[in-house]
Amino acid sequence: MVEWYIYKDVLESIMEFSKSFYPREFSGMLYTKNNIIEDIYIIPQTYSNENSAVIRLDFVPLSMSINGSVHSHPSGNGYPSRADLSFFQSKDINIIVYHPYDLFSFKAYNSKGENIEIKVILREKSKLLKNL
Protein backbone atom coordinates (compact mmCIF):
# COMPACT_ATOMS: atom_id res chain seq x y z
CA MET A 1 0.00 0.00 0.00
CA VAL A 2 1.54 3.28 -1.14
CA GLU A 3 1.53 6.11 1.36
CA TRP A 4 0.60 9.53 0.04
CA TYR A 5 1.38 12.94 1.46
CA ILE A 6 0.41 16.49 0.62
CA TYR A 7 2.08 19.68 1.72
CA LYS A 8 -0.21 21.70 3.95
CA ASP A 9 0.44 24.86 1.92
CA VAL A 10 -0.62 23.05 -1.28
CA LEU A 11 -3.83 21.90 0.39
CA GLU A 12 -4.44 25.45 1.61
CA SER A 13 -3.95 26.76 -1.94
CA ILE A 14 -6.40 24.19 -3.30
CA MET A 15 -8.99 25.30 -0.76
CA GLU A 16 -8.38 28.97 -1.56
CA PHE A 17 -8.81 28.33 -5.28
CA SER A 18 -11.95 26.31 -4.62
CA LYS A 19 -13.41 29.11 -2.53
CA SER A 20 -12.60 31.72 -5.16
CA PHE A 21 -14.27 29.59 -7.87
CA TYR A 22 -17.36 28.86 -5.77
CA PRO A 23 -20.13 28.20 -6.80
CA ARG A 24 -18.30 27.05 -9.93
CA GLU A 25 -16.10 23.97 -9.99
CA PHE A 26 -12.35 24.31 -9.80
CA SER A 27 -9.98 21.79 -11.32
CA GLY A 28 -6.26 21.35 -11.56
CA MET A 29 -3.46 18.86 -11.94
CA LEU A 30 -1.12 17.74 -9.18
CA TYR A 31 2.65 17.53 -9.30
CA THR A 32 4.06 14.72 -7.24
CA LYS A 33 7.51 13.54 -6.25
CA ASN A 34 8.21 10.54 -4.03
CA ASN A 35 4.46 10.23 -3.35
CA ILE A 36 4.33 13.75 -2.01
CA ILE A 37 1.94 16.18 -3.67
CA GLU A 38 4.21 19.18 -4.08
CA ASP A 39 2.28 21.61 -6.24
CA ILE A 40 -0.79 22.26 -8.35
CA TYR A 41 -1.20 23.38 -11.93
CA ILE A 42 -4.42 25.19 -12.76
CA ILE A 43 -6.02 23.91 -15.92
CA PRO A 44 -6.13 26.96 -18.23
CA GLN A 45 -9.76 26.52 -19.34
CA THR A 46 -10.91 26.97 -15.77
CA TYR A 47 -8.45 29.75 -15.02
CA SER A 48 -10.43 32.88 -14.29
CA ASN A 49 -9.10 34.38 -11.10
CA GLU A 50 -6.56 37.17 -11.52
CA ASN A 51 -4.89 36.24 -8.26
CA SER A 52 -4.24 32.65 -9.30
CA ALA A 53 -0.71 31.67 -10.09
CA VAL A 54 -0.28 29.50 -13.13
CA ILE A 55 2.83 27.38 -13.07
CA ARG A 56 4.71 27.19 -16.36
CA LEU A 57 5.27 23.61 -17.39
CA ASP A 58 8.81 24.31 -18.60
CA PHE A 59 9.79 25.36 -15.07
CA VAL A 60 8.84 22.05 -13.55
CA PRO A 61 11.86 19.94 -12.59
CA LEU A 62 12.13 16.69 -14.52
CA SER A 63 12.03 14.74 -11.28
CA MET A 64 8.45 15.90 -10.72
CA SER A 65 5.54 14.41 -12.56
CA ILE A 66 1.96 15.44 -13.21
CA ASN A 67 0.16 12.27 -12.27
CA GLY A 68 -2.61 13.58 -10.10
CA SER A 69 -5.80 15.56 -10.36
CA VAL A 70 -7.82 17.75 -8.08
CA HIS A 71 -11.27 19.24 -8.50
CA SER A 72 -13.92 20.76 -6.32
CA HIS A 73 -17.48 19.73 -5.63
CA PRO A 74 -19.42 22.86 -4.75
CA SER A 75 -22.30 20.57 -3.71
CA GLY A 76 -20.43 19.49 -0.58
CA ASN A 77 -20.34 15.83 -1.66
CA GLY A 78 -16.85 14.28 -1.68
CA TYR A 79 -17.74 11.19 -3.68
CA PRO A 80 -16.68 10.70 -7.31
CA SER A 81 -19.19 10.80 -10.14
CA ARG A 82 -19.17 8.23 -12.92
CA ALA A 83 -17.27 10.74 -15.10
CA ASP A 84 -14.78 11.33 -12.27
CA LEU A 85 -14.08 7.60 -11.98
CA SER A 86 -13.24 7.25 -15.65
CA PHE A 87 -11.01 10.34 -15.50
CA PHE A 88 -9.20 8.96 -12.41
CA GLN A 89 -8.06 5.86 -14.32
CA SER A 90 -5.11 7.67 -15.92
CA LYS A 91 -3.88 9.22 -12.66
CA ASP A 92 -2.12 7.84 -9.59
CA ILE A 93 -3.79 10.18 -7.15
CA ASN A 94 -7.03 12.15 -7.35
CA ILE A 95 -8.41 14.59 -4.83
CA ILE A 96 -11.97 15.81 -4.53
CA VAL A 97 -12.40 18.80 -2.29
CA TYR A 98 -15.88 19.81 -1.26
CA HIS A 99 -17.73 22.75 0.19
CA PRO A 100 -17.07 24.39 2.73
CA TYR A 101 -13.44 23.87 1.71
CA ASP A 102 -11.78 23.74 5.11
CA LEU A 103 -8.61 21.66 5.56
CA PHE A 104 -10.67 18.53 6.27
CA SER A 105 -13.03 18.85 3.30
CA PHE A 106 -11.27 16.47 0.95
CA LYS A 107 -11.19 12.84 -0.12
CA ALA A 108 -8.53 11.08 -2.17
CA TYR A 109 -8.84 8.23 -4.65
CA ASN A 110 -6.40 6.07 -6.59
CA SER A 111 -6.73 5.21 -10.29
CA LYS A 112 -9.28 2.51 -9.47
CA GLY A 113 -11.47 4.96 -7.61
CA GLU A 114 -10.64 3.45 -4.22
CA ASN A 115 -10.67 5.86 -1.29
CA ILE A 116 -7.14 6.32 0.03
CA GLU A 117 -5.65 8.29 2.89
CA ILE A 118 -3.40 11.28 2.36
CA LYS A 119 -1.33 12.64 5.23
CA VAL A 120 -0.94 16.39 5.45
CA ILE A 121 2.65 17.40 6.15
CA LEU A 122 4.63 20.61 6.43
CA ARG A 123 7.17 21.35 3.72
CA GLU A 124 10.09 21.49 6.19
CA LYS A 125 9.23 18.19 7.84
CA SER A 126 9.04 16.42 4.50
CA LYS A 127 12.74 17.07 3.96
CA LEU A 128 13.45 14.98 7.02
CA LEU A 129 11.12 12.32 5.73
CA LYS A 130 12.93 12.11 2.38
CA ASN A 131 16.30 11.75 4.07
CA LEU A 132 15.28 8.72 6.09
Residues that bind Zn ion (CB under 5 A): 81, 84
* Residue with Cβ nearer Zn ion (8 or 22): 22
Least separation in angstroms between CB 63 and Zn ion: 29
- Cα–Cα distance measured from residue 51 to residue 66, given in angstroms and rounded to the nearest whole number: 22
* Residue with Cβ nearer Zn ion (84 or 92): 84
Q: Which residue is nearest to Zn ion (CB)?
A: 84
Report whether the peptide linkage leading into residue 80 is cis, meaning its omega lies within 30 degrees of zero.
no
Least separation in angstroms between CB 102 and Zn ion: 18
Least separation in angstroms between CB 22 and Zn ion: 14
